Copies of this chain bind each other. A is one copy, B any other.
Amino acid sequence: MAAFEDLIHARRDVRHFLCDPLDEAEVDRLLALAHSAPSVGLSQPWRFVRIATPALREALAAHVDEQVARAGKIYEGQEDRLYRSLKLHGLREAPALFAVYCDEGTETGHRLGAMTMPEARRYSCVMAIHTLWLAARTRGIGMGWVSILDPATVDAMLEVPPSWRCLGLLCLGYPTSEEATPELERRGWEHRTDWHSTVVTR
């Protein structure tokens, strides 16, 4: 109970990685655990694409850099300066890199729970990602989830089946530092709100 609370509070979105490689047996163990995440109708629709080619990694990093610049056009003045100074991904440095997909066409689970809210399958994939994130943290491994990208472009780069939908890129590796506070809060981008503000009663 207490250890789980500590884990939740210690987890960060990591963008600064050491170049030390990860033990491949440990990576396998993380993926196997992610596979025990909840899934709608027991559909287990998550698909992990391991990026193993240096050229593909660089193409993805260049794409995300371009999308970061494009998304930043909405900011002005001080906010623009702060945005430009943020490091938003570690795609070039992280020793292990994955793209995560949801197979929207899977027949596993016999469509139970996915008729009324088809997005429930993608939500299952998010829980697999979150399981991987927390499991990595229990082993001192950091993870960063990159969502500033154009899914169609990434799909084409990775040549995935048409029924697969992109949820983002995951960078995994040992972090350069362990931080108690989210980087976006330390840098003054946003601060955390009080939990009471998120609950209403009906």
* Chain B residues positioned under 8 Å from A148 (CB to CB): 113, 115-117
A48 touches B189 (CB 8 A): no
8 A Cβ contacts from A12-26 to B: 13
A158–B189 CA distance with the chains assembled, in angstroms = 33
A10 closest partner in B (C-beta): B36
Q: How many copies does the complex hold?
A: 2
A174 at the interface (CB under 8 A from B): no
Q: Which residues in A have some Cβ–Cβ distance to B below 8 Å?
A: 1, 3-5, 7-9, 11, 13, 31-38, 40-44, 46-53, 56, 67, 71, 74-75, 79, 83, 88, 99, 108-113, 115-117, 119-120, 122-123, 126-127, 130-131, 133-135, 138-139, 145, 147-151, 158-159, 167-168, 182, 184-185, 189-193, 195, 198-202
